[in-house]
């Protein structure tokens, strides 16, 4: 690992983390949600899981259409009725509605 100490910095530069930290909106989650932040992978800029009761949903932020084709940064939630559900990054109200639907569908 010592030889690879620059890899995280190169990845951060490639994914423009310093840019996105200024643009990703704050989200006010309901108190009954538990949030587990997870490392980004597979082209996502950010990832987390949301848990309510025994149900867990996966959420990621794709800012480069690496995993979909929205044309601008978007959140994806899985599973929602067995499928992926997406909304634009700045539409956090819609994101929360999608997450709640995912909990109801489980």
pLDDT band of residue 8 (cuts 50, 70, 90) is: confident
Q: What is the pTM of this model?
A: 0.91
| Cβ–Cβ under 8 Å, residues 96 and 85 | no
Chain centroid to CA 61: how far? 4
CA distance 74 to 21: 15
Looking at per-residue pLDDT, the higher value among 4 and 31 belongs to 31
- The residues, any chain, with a CB within 8 Å of residue 22's CB and separated by 6 or more, are none
Provide the residue range defining the domain that includes 81: 2-105
Domain count, the chain: 1
Query: Would you state the torsion angle of the CA atoms of residues 86, 90, 94, 97, taken in this order, to the nearest 10 degrees?
Result: 90
What whole-number percentage of the chain has pLDDT above 90?
Answer: 77
CA distance 37 to 87: 19
**79 pLDDT more than 80:** yes
């Amino acid at each position: 690992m010592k030889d690879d100490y620059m890899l995280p910095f190169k990845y951060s530069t490639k994914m423009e983390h310093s840019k996105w930290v200024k643009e990703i909106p704050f989200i006010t989650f309901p108190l009954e949600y538990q949030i587990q932040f997870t490392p980004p992978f597979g082209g996502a800029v950010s990832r987390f899981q949301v848990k309510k009761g025994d149900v867990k949903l996966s959420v990621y932020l794709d800012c480069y259409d690496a995993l979909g084709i929205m044309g601008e940064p978007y959140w994806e939630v899985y599973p929602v009725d067995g499928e992926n559900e997406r909304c634009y990054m700045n539409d956090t109200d819609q994101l929360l509605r999608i997450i709640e639907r995912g909990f109801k569908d489980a």
